[in-house]
Amino acid sequence: MHSSAWISSCASGCSSSASELLLCLAREPERVFTKAELLLDVWGYRVVGRTRTLDSHASRLRRKLREAGSPVELVENVWGVGYRLRSEQ
């Protein structure tokens, strides 16, 4: 189960884009979202191209969650696919 405390703590202290990313991932915990889905849903990008926007925000989001006391890396990169929000277990 995801700790809503980590999520709400981070969402309140993150940039709006990082908060949107976190909320998008939290809507369907454990689901792997493709980079294209996240870029479209959070930033409105229709063409993925070679942007590092998502990777940069995911990295900052991980840092904020650690600072909020998360005991595990909740935002997980699924290599070659995208990202998901892991459970704390």
Model-wide pTM > 0.75: yes
Quick: pLDDT tens for 8-67.
555 556 677 888 999 899 899 889 999 999 999 998 888 767 778 899 999 988 988 888
Total Cβ atoms within 10 A of residue 66: 15
| 17: helix, strand or coil | helix
Q: Judging by beta carbons within 10 Å of its beta carbon (0-12, 13-18, 19+), is residue 20 exposed, middle or buried?
A: middle
pLDDT at site 1 = 37
pLDDT at site 38 = 94
CA distance 48 to 16: 20
CA atoms within 13 A on the CB side of 53: 17
Which domains, ranges and CATH numbers included, belong to the chain? 4-85 (1.10.10.10)
Measured over the CA atoms of residue 48, residue 53, residue 55 and residue 61, the dihedral's sign is: negative
pLDDT at site 32 = 97
Question: Is the CB of residue 38 less than 8 Å from the CB of residue 24?
Answer: yes
